[in-house]
Amino acid sequence: MAREYLIELYRRLAPIYEEVYGVEQRLKYWLILSQVGEKVVDAGCGVGLAFEVLKSYVVCLDISLDMLERARAKSGEWGDLILADYWLPPFRENAFISALFISSVEPELFEKLHAVWRQIAYKFFYEFRGKWRIFEQRN
């Protein structure tokens, strides 16, 4: 999808996102809670539900300023917000223990996106419409 289309879509979705998807999305974070560790990046974080569930340091990265504005209220002392495209990650090598891509990338792109991020984190959690793929780097 074109970047401009996504930004407009999420601008419209931001005000109702939690009402429509909140319960479903929180459950996905609960499923991986014990596995993510500390120093987490949630790529395509939306309204910041990871802050509520993970209760550890999270960098919330999203392409939508509207989504990040809603995430700000949840972030508190639990993390930071970054406006960026996850296809162009603004992070150094080994910056995170885990990278989460929850409902943010379609399964046919998991491997391609993993190639972009593989030096940034050790564990990767990809999910889209119930399809999961988990990668763990070995040192």
> For residue 113, what is the domain's CATH number?
3.40.50.150
Q: Is the pLDDT of residue 28 over 70?
A: yes
The whole-number average pLDDT for the span 29-54 is 94
Q: How confident is the model at residue 72 (pLDDT cuts 50, 70, 90)?
A: very high
Q: Return the half-sphere exposure (C-beta side, CA atoms, 13 A cut-off) of residue 96.
A: 27
Question: What pLDDT is recorded for position 1?
Answer: 60
Q: Is the pLDDT of residue 120 over 80?
A: yes
Burial 8-27 (b: 16+ CB within 10 A, else e): eebeebbeebbeebeeebee
Alpha carbon distance 55, 66 (integer Å): 23
pTM: 0.91
Q: How many domains does the chain have?
A: 1
Burial 98-132 (b: 16+ CB within 10 A, else e): bbbbbbbbeeeebeebbeebeebbbbbbbbbeeee
Name the residue range of residue 33's domain. 3-136
Q: Is the pLDDT of residue 15 over 70?
A: yes
Tell me the two tokens of residue 7. 């930004």
